[in-house]
Structure 1
């Protein structure tokens, strides 16, 4: 009698994954791949963002307003080459000492401003460069919103592509608001001190006066030497100290400027 032999079924051997499968399922490997993807994404964003922002900035620029900068009324436009160096250096020192090193947006200043704003829970610093301030004064409102800040940065990137640093600084000094309805270094020098900013003779603003004017863009009405002389002097001290710290002037020049007898040329009527 033939017997059908039936194979003996034993216990199944456990599946042992290959080295490739093991590596694919290891948590560390997954995180490495995710980090790699994020890094690639950040590189792409860092490359494309400035291009996109620059294109957007070109759209947001009002060409007529830009052209009008060089056609000022009353002949108050002052060229950079006509100013004593200490005039424009005072503004660069206090407003944007990295002006020559960035492309319109200073990531260091912006990061510092964001950190201060977040830590204090209020809009304390804006991190705006001179080029960003120029963009805001020419084309935008002063509303403290993220959209306005984005536009400000986009326009600044575009302006930096169109103009040299010298041209940008000259435009900035001739359009920035100095309070009391006065725009530009020419109008401000005449209004506050009855002088000019073009370096032609003894009636040019002094270092001490230039430091007071450089104080104004931060808060024109608050630091107005007409309305708040003590605040203006305190802010002047900050500007001159910053210039000395950056070796724009020496300690002797700083002290001499602080001792200057400054006469404010205009007065503003206030309600009694």
Structure 2
């Protein structure tokens, strides 16, 4: 197991002086959580477009919505969308979604029209690679799917108790899956053919007590190599060597489900929590997906 973990850690983006990355390096004095939108049933799947605006879902309401980052203006992007729970923009500029109720992966054009990319698969959360490959978590199936641009699909990871959130490092050598029924985030090496190998429980989340699960959910990463994951305790932050740096307090009493950096400078953390969307300005900078050569 030690050799397995070492192999995966070698794939992580190491940053100098990672041990000197406490939560205070990210927080800004006087900046707390700001409520941006509320009144929904269960929000999830925040995604950022090229201008820094936010798209998110109301899963039971079967809505995909948009928030203008500058004005906080809220609009409905698409309706009746089969319990869409995960969203991410792809390298082609389209918004991709994982539809939990409909068991399919879809792509939205700029007008909200839908194209089915793959169906008949568990689809909780997803991440889109720069080559168009899509990875999605199948929570009931205890596995991770790879969906290629031509719609071909295959299982690339199995035997995960409750795979939930999923994220790629933008250089795309490492993929991380949160196991909401366990205490750890599992890191995999991404092979040249898109398959996964060397799965290891690299990130150890803080939990309420020794027998409690983390309830780990959505994730994002920043330019310093830190990883952020929504959990039962709040938003947990890890440094680039996979060590826990701290936990952001919850914006409300509700469960935090997902997180993304947004805004023109990608310096604002947005989280989905209960029926609302919250944000806070940080000293960190997120990473733009689909533009790997620019990183």
Q: Could you tell me the TM-score, scaled by structure 1's length?
A: 0.30
Greater share of residues in helix: 1
Query: TM-score, structure 2 length as denominator?
Result: 0.29
Instruction: Find the structure with the greater CA-based Rg.
Output: 1
